[in-house]
A and B are shown apart, each in its own frame.
Chain A
Amino acid sequence: DAGITQSPRHKVTETGTPVTLRCHQTENHRYMYWYRQDPGHGLRLIHYSYGVKDTDKGEVSDGYSVSRSKTEDFLLTLESATSSQTSVYFCATQRGPRGVPGQPFMNTEAFFGQGTRLTVV
């Protein structure tokens, strides 16, 4: 298994406070993702990173920001936590596409962290 560590694993916080979740990987994977998992919605992409300092928004990015200052760490910040952000958050990584020039690249396997259960009260 890829070495992906999420911290904290559990957190309870109050509405309006900032919260930062950390994803740390030891695999030197280029691509990193933050997803949230909610009943009835499944997993949805919040933000992703395609390299150091290179990030972009996913489908549910409002209220979240990310930073990636080095390959191994991808931080997710809830700027002012709301009850709607109560969820389980998963970090994922992928090594990056592989293939030969001129040919469609081949996807690589996705690896997931253990998840962070966040409760906003």
Chain B
Amino acid sequence: KNEVEQSPQNLTAQEGEFITINCSYSVGISALHWLQQHPGGGIVSLFMLSSGKKKHGRLIATINIQEKHSSLHITASHPRDSAVYICAVNNAGGTSYGKLTFGQGTILTVHP
């Protein structure tokens, strides 16, 4: 079992729909990252959070440390949101700062 699990693996939506992508992890963490990767493109950091909730435009990320779970929400989805969304965690403790453990990614397709 992977340390970081995302669901769903694939998600198709119509423009305007509210979207939720989930991430569960099995280890203690010091931070959780949500990343976005467009086809053939680089990886962009959307959020880094260790507690609570963050919002940026139409994107909202939440984390529940006790339940080891995070969600990424997209409100009023748009075709340009079509991308792979990746959850990654920094393991707590240890001596190796910043190393990330990644989920498999969620492929999101938003149709006009």
Contacts and interface: CB of A to CB of B under 8 A. Distances in A.
B72 interface: no
Given A104-B30, A107-B31, A107-B90, A45 B45 contact: no
Contacts of B98: 31, 33, 48, 94, 96-97, 107-108, 110
A13 B25 CA distance: 37
B42 interface: yes
A42 B106 CA distance: 11
A1 B45 CA distance: 9
Interface residues on B, range: 20 to 34
Interface residues of A, number: 30
Contacts, number: 71
Nearest to B87: A42
Q: Chain B CB within 10 Å — which of A40, A43, A48 has the most?
A: A43
Given A40-B104, A97-B98, A110-B35, 17 more contacts: A31-B98, A42-B104, A43-B86, A43-B100, A48-B98, A48-B99, A50-B96, A94-B98, A96-B98, A97-B97, A107-B30, A109-B45, A111-B45, A112-B35, A113-B42, A115-B41, A115-B43
27 contacts: A31-B97, A31-B98, A33-B98, A35-B100, A40-B104, A42-B104, A43-B86, A45-B99, A45-B100, A90-B43, A94-B97, A94-B98, A97-B97, A104-B30, A106-B31, A107-B31, A107-B48, A110-B35, A110-B48, A110-B100, A112-B35, A112-B43, A112-B44, A112-B45, A114-B41, A115-B41, A115-B42
When A and B form their complex, which 8 residue pairs have the shortest distance between CB atoms, in order from nearest? A107-B31, A112-B43, A114-B42, A43-B102, A94-B98, A42-B102, A31-B98, A42-B104
